[in-house]
Structure 1
Amino acid sequence: MSHLPILLLLLGHIPPVDPLSCYICMFPTITPADCLFTQDCARGQQCLSSIAIGTQGALRVVLYEKGCAITSQCGLSGEKYASGLNFTYTNVCCEADLCNADSASSRPRPPFLAAFSPLLTLVLVLL
């Protein structure tokens, strides 16, 4: 007797896997505390945290990104040029709900940064 019908019957009753939930940033941001939103990832994706450090002469800008990523984006690091800055980036992924939270995001920001962070991020993205 073949076990195939029994196997197919059992597979049909396996509950679907809940999607992974990750923190996301609406735009690259200058502090991980600005990544307050969450998103359910597509099947097979992981939570991503990315840090990009841009320099031009004495100017240094650090941008943070969070979201969902396909496995091939995980563990990548490299360089890219954007908005007149040379960026060095590093991508890190994890596979648990909201695992891309950063301990730095729980630290309070200085009031100046808290007030102007979204505006400064928008200016940097538009450059």
Structure 2
Amino acid sequence: MSRSQLVIVLLCCLPLAACLHCYTCLFPAISPLDCFKFPQECPAGQRCLSSVAIGRRGSLQVTMYEKSCAIPSQCDVSGQKYASGLYFNYTNICCDTDLCNGAVSVAALSWWRAALCLLPALTLLLA
């Protein structure tokens, strides 16, 4: 394999870093099943986030579930936030593979998305 072919093959792999897809909830949900999630392409450098926040007032407990893309500083942190008249204790967990913040394994779909990311580079290779 010549050097130019090797460079082209390596360049074909670069778009994968910018093509991370994560689930995003349309609205924060009070049940993991209520999260109307859809795949979204994240900006470069972001990760997939799953967040659980628990708020209490007296005997009332509300749990909120969120999924989204996140900047690294939002990842793997816990804290408190105020929303809907309650203070919530939250925990954010992040991951780095396609659709990893969903409940269902989608390894085959991840391979398909990786192939789509490579398509522009492959057209340059074949041209």
| 1:97 alignment partner AA | D
Deviation at 1:36, TM superposition (A): 2.4
- Within-5 A mapping of 1:28-107: 28-33=28-33, 34-102=35-103
Structure 1 residue runs of 5 or longer lacking an equivalent are 1-5, 104-127
CA contact 2:82–2:88 (8 Å) conserved in 1 = yes
CA contact 2:26–2:37 (8 Å) conserved in 1 = no
Deviation at 1:86, TM superposition (A): 1.4
Instruction: Describe the superposition over 1:72-124 as per-residue Cα deviations: whole angstroms up to 9, x where unpaired.
Output: 10011001122221100000000001100136xxxxxxxxxxxxxxxxxxxxx
Q: Give the % identical residues.
A: 53
CA contact 1:56–1:84 (8 Å) conserved in 2 = no
| 2:15 alignment partner AA | V
| 2:32 alignment partner AA | P
| 2:94 alignment partner AA | C
Which residue in 1 is equivalent to 2:21?
21
Secondary structure class of the residue paired with 1:14? helix
C-alpha distance in 2, partners of 1:36/1:80?
23
Tell me the matched-pair count.
97
Secondary structure class of the residue paired with 2:73? helix
C-alpha distance in 1, partners of 2:101/2:26?
15
Instruction: Describe the superposition over 1:34-85 as per-residue Cα deviations: whole angstroms up to 9, x where unpaired.
Output: 2421101011111000000011111100000001001110011001122221
| 2:21 alignment partner AA | S
CA contact 1:50–1:66 (8 Å) conserved in 2 = yes
User: What TM-score, normalized by structure 1, do the two folds share?
Assistant: 0.68
| 2:40 alignment partner AA | Q
CA contact 1:23–1:35 (8 Å) conserved in 2 = no
CA RMSD of aligned residues (A): 2.3
C-alpha distance in 1, partners of 2:36/2:69?
13
